[in-house]
Amino acid sequence: MLKVLKLKIQAGIVGFESPASGYVEQSINLDSLLIDKPAATFIGLAQGNSMVGDGIFDGDLLIISRSEPIKDNAVVVCAVGGEFVCKRLDMRNRRLLSSSPDYPPYQISDADDFTIEGTVIRSVRLFKPLNIQ
């Protein structure tokens, strides 16, 4: 179980004793903090830079819920032609939108092998890449 201190942390660095030294540690479970419904949740690893406008960067962990209602303009993970993509869903115009202007919208056609796998409910920034194969 990870020990977490309940305090706000500033980005500035000073040369004094840690302000956390007087606080008592409390246990917290990241699963319970980040995942509402474990049976309907999966985690993916973001690749690429098409969603940086939404704060999703290459290498971030995406927490994806299959229990969230699919809503217009939601950030979703879809399978398109057997490949997983993370995009914003434009339901009215049947498009998948990137949040970076460098990537054009993808028009969803009836001929596409297309499924919505879930809604991205959280992302976790990783400053060091995961060591997974």
* Residues known to be catalytic: 50, 87
C-alpha to C-alpha distance for 83 and 44, rounded to whole angstroms: 13
2 contact partners, CB below 8 Å, separation of at least 6: 27, 28, 29, 30
44 contact partners, CB below 8 Å, separation of at least 6: 61, 62, 64, 77, 84, 86
Which candidate, 45, 68, 81, places its Cα nearest to that of 118?
68
CA atoms within 13 A on the CB side of 83: 6
The SS3 assignment for 96 reads strand
